[in-house]
């Protein structure tokens, strides 16, 4: 399928991957829907536990956000650790911290399977306002005192050591974070899953799931019926197409990225080679690729119709941060949908023998791999860690099928306006 949003640096530099198809109806212990980080890690972890697994992907491995994102590896969740404790109490916050800050399953998978995906260390959160910096410093102090988690607080006068931009009021450098080539990571997971026995069927869309009284299910695709004892729905922004009831818990937001030509002054722009995301509601996020391009994401749209020219749309945001490369050649421009929940926390759970994980709200490059592995744990009978994430509060967006997205858009536009006013 030709995808106008996938003229990406990642697609142009992806490792080879041989697509496979199957004929006729199939049976398995676990059927996984979706070939992104969540689905691939769930399929791999289930196969490692001895389950027979089929993964079905409507397009190709990494087609969605997993293969198009900014490549930023940011520990934690969209809520700070302190906010989690304030909202949920110390015991639950401790358990969430152990999972989402200390447990880096991405690094573990890359090391175990020898995945070549340009992994780099270091993530910088840059403060858009002085008030944002005060909040960052508070959160960093809490992480250090409460958990012994070391983050470096960067004063405004020292930001030049990390980023050649005068926009920011300070920041937090987290050496546990980093960045990578997300599509090559997805392909690496797919290879590892196949080596573990997973049958991966690309270009096959699941149209509906039928559940039976004994807990088993049948997945109806365009060309086959797949019978499974368990199902993992890892379709994220497309969840509503497979399970409309679950789709009410997220709305898709379109994000766009560009990649410049290789820059002779790349190391001057980001001297520590950290990935950077700023604190605006409609944030800028950027990093250097392995071949010294600036990969920059900025702006978002609440319509699913992309801009006529993605490079033209994103360039002003890049030029605001880095006026010294305002006229740099842009070689790639691409975009995709991010599934966002009401409270920006992921929506994870199970309904009988159907497990789901979606709504990572733009903060999923690390936690999606974890979520997939926790699904496998729960499916195998050990649900304690899965339940830590499944117990996070969630509620559907108001407005029903026709008004959900317009009402969500109004709220998001309000927060975007606050950025500009403030």
Mean pLDDT of all residues in 312-317? 96
What pLDDT shows up at residue 352?
A: 96
What pLDDT shows up at residue 326?
A: 98
Q: Does residue 410 surpass a pLDDT of 80?
A: no
What pLDDT shows up at residue 251?
A: 87
| Average pLDDT value for the chain | 93
pLDDT category of residue 132 using cuts at 50, 70 and 90? very high
Distance in angstroms (rounded) separating the CA atoms of residues 251 and 395: 12
What pLDDT shows up at residue 21?
A: 82
Distance in angstroms (rounded) separating the CA atoms of residues 390 and 349: 5
Say which range, 134-138, 194-198, 260-264, 305-309, has the weakest mean pLDDT.
Answer: 305-309
Question: Hey, what are 278's tokens?
Answer: 């700023």
Hunting for tokens 């992309």 — which residue is that? 306
What pLDDT shows up at residue 406?
A: 55
pLDDT tens column, 187-226: 999 999 999 999 999 999 999 999 999 999 999 999 999 9
Distance in angstroms (rounded) separating the CA atoms of residues 134 and 298: 24
User: 6-68+184-249+343-399: which CATH number, 3.40.640.10, 3.90.79.10, 3.40.50.300, 3.50.50.60?
Assistant: 3.50.50.60
What is the dihedral angle through the alpha carbons of 104, 105, 106, 111, rounded to the nearest 10 degrees? 100
Mean pLDDT of all residues in 269-279? 97
- Report the percentage of the chain scoring pLDDT > 70: 92
pLDDT category of residue 135 using cuts at 50, 70 and 90? very high
Q: Does residue 411 surpass a pLDDT of 70?
A: no
Q: Does residue 15 surpass a pLDDT of 70?
A: yes
Helices 367-379 & 105-113 angle (0-180, nearest 10): 80
pLDDT tens column, 345-366: 999 999 999 999 999 998 999 9
408 half-sphere exposure, CB direction, 13 A CA radius? 25
Please spell the DSSP secondary structure of 34-62, one letter per residue.
--SHHHHHHHHHHHHTT--EEEEESS-TT
Residue boundaries of the structural domains of the chain: 6-68+184-249+343-399
pLDDT category of residue 20 using cuts at 50, 70 and 90? confident
CB–CB of 55/62 below 8 Å? no
Its pTM stands at 0.94
pLDDT tens column, 43-54: 999 999 999 999
What pLDDT shows up at residue 418?
A: 52
Q: Does residue 5 surpass a pLDDT of 80?
A: no
Task: Give the residue from 295, 231, 238, 304 showing the smallest Cα distance to 263.
Answer: 295
Which parts of 197-309 fold into alpha helices (H)? 239-242, 244-247, 266-269
CB–CB of 138/81 below 8 Å? no
């Amino acid at each position: 399928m030709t995808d106008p949003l996938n003229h990406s640096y990642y697609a142009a530099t992806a490792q080879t991957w041989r697509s496979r198809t199957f004929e006729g109806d199939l049976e398995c212990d676990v059927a996984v829907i979706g070939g992104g980080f969540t689905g691939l890690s769930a399929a791999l972890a289930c196969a490692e536990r001895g389950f027979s697994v089929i993964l079905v992907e409507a397009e190709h491995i990494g087609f969605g956000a997993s293969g198009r994102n900014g490549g930023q590896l940011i520990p934690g969740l969209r809520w700070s650790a302190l906010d989690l404790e304030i909202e949920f109490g110390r015991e639950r916050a401790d358990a969430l911290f152990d999972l989402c800050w200390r447990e880096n399953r991405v690094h573990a998978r890359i090391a175990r399977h020898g995945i070549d995906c340009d992994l780099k260390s270091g993530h910088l959160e840059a403060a858009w306002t002085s008030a944002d910096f005060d909040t960052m410093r508070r959160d960093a102090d809490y992480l250090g005192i409460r958990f012994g988690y070391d983050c470096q607080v960067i004063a405004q006068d020292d930001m030049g050591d990390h980023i050649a931009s005068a926009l920011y009021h300070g920041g937090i450098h987290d050496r546990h974070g980093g960045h990578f080539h997300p599509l090559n990571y997805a392909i690496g997971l797919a290879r590892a899953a196949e080596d573990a026995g997973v049958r991966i069927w690309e270009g096959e869309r699941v149209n509906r799931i039928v559940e039976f009284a004994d807990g088993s299910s049948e997945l109806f695709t365009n060309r086959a019926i797949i019978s499974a004892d368990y199902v993992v729905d890892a379709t994220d922004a497309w969840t509503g197409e497979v399970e409309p009831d679950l789709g009410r818990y997220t709305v898709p937001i379109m994000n766009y990225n560009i990649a410049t030509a290789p820059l002779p002054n790349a190391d001057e722009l980001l001297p520590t080679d950290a990935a950077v995301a700023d604190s605006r509601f409609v944030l800028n996020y950027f990093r250097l690729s392995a071949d010294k391009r600036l990969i920059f994401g900025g702006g978002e749209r609440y319509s699913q119709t992309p801009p006529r020219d993605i490079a033209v749309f994103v360039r002003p945001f890049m030029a605001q941060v880095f006026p010294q490369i305002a006229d740099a050649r842009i070689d790639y421009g691409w975009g995709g949908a991010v599934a966002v929940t009401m409270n920006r926390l992921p929506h994870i759970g199970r309904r009988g023998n159907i497990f789901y994980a979606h709504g990572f709200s733009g903060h999923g490059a690390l936690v999606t791999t974890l979520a997939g592995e926790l699904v496998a744990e729960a499916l195998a009978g050990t649900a304690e860690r899965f339940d830590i994430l499944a117990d996070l509060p969630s509620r559907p967006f108001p407005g029903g099928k026709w008004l959900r997205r317009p009402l969500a858009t109004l709220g998001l536009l309000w927060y975007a306006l606050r950025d500009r006013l403030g």
